[in-house]
Amino acid sequence: MGNHSRKNRLYRAFRELGRAVRTITLLRYLSDPDLREQITAVTNRTEAGLEEHRYSRWR
C-alpha cells in the first residue's frame, strides 16, 4: 500500500503542475497580442501545408 500511495501522490502533484502550466500559458496567450499573432501564423501555415498534402494524394 505504501508504494501505491506514493505513486498516487506523485500523479496528483504532476497533474496540478500541468494545470498550473496550462493556466499560465493561457494567461500569456490572452495578454500578449504578439504571441497570439505568432501562434495564429504558425497554425495557419501548418494547416495550409496539411491541406496541400491532402490534395496532393488525390492527384
Instruction: Please write the tens of the pLDDT for every residue from 29-46.
Output: 999 999 999 999 998 888
Q: Are 35 and 28 in contact (CB under 8 A)?
A: yes
| Lookup result for grid cell 494545470 | 19
3-class DSSP state of 37: helix
pTM of the model: 0.59
Q: Which of 45, 44, 20, 25 is nearest to 35 (CA)?
A: 25
Higher pLDDT, 57 or 1: 57
3-class DSSP state of 50: helix
Q: Going by C-beta distance under 8 Å and a sequence separation of 6 or more, which residues neighbour residue 16? A: none
